[in-house]
Amino acid sequence: MEIQAILEELRNRQTFTANKRAEALRIGNDHQAEVYRTELIRLLDLEERLMAVLSETYRALNKQITGIDSPSAYASKAACGKRHLPCGTRLKTTYKGKTIRATVNEDGKIEYQEQFLSSIAALAEYVTGKSKNHLRNRKFWVITMPEK
């Protein structure tokens, strides 16, 4: 499916940009790191806008087929308030040169190293040992939604 390929390419670019930013930070090139951060934010915003369009398209098609206007399973943040990640969602980031991978379980908890955490913020605190850290923000994670 072409949409899946577009999303995969977008997420690959996000990963590439995040890695380049991490490298720039590692070598102390703050200006280049800021350029990559700005690009990463743009890519994440683009993904969120694309998901919102897909959500509205799904909703419209569902209404046309069933006659029922129900919110999409992939509703946008504005449409459903606080976003919850569906079961099977994979999370990935890099912290201090180490790749961090976690998965959302059936209860909606994020599972990482046999710990069950309630949110990305809780995962970030567990990984870094600090309550205030950059990993609390979704834009620093590669989030892979489960296939249907």
- 3-class SS at 145? coil
Residue 27, token pair as written in the block: 């070598």
Residues 93 and 138 in one domain: yes
Residues 29 and 72 in one domain: yes
Residues 71 and 91 in one domain: no
d(C-alpha 43, C-alpha 139), whole Å: 9
Residues 72 and 93 in one domain: no
Local confidence pLDDT in tens for the 148 residues of the chain: 588 788 888 888 988 998 999 999 999 999 999 999 889 888 888 887 887 787 778 777 777 777 766 543 443 333 223 457 788 889 998 888 889 999 998 888 899 999 999 888 899 999 999 888 787 777 788 888 877 5
Last residue of some domain: 49, 79, 109? 79
Instruction: Report the candidate in 82, 60, 86 with the shortest Cα–Cα distance to residue 71.
Output: 60
What amino acid is encoded at 4 in this protein?
Q
Query: How many domains, the chain?
Result: 2
DSSP collapsed to 3 states, 39-63: HHHHHHHHHHHHHHHHHHHHHHHHH
Name residue, tokens 């890695």: 19
Residues 68 and 12 in one domain: yes
Range of the domain at 44: 1-79
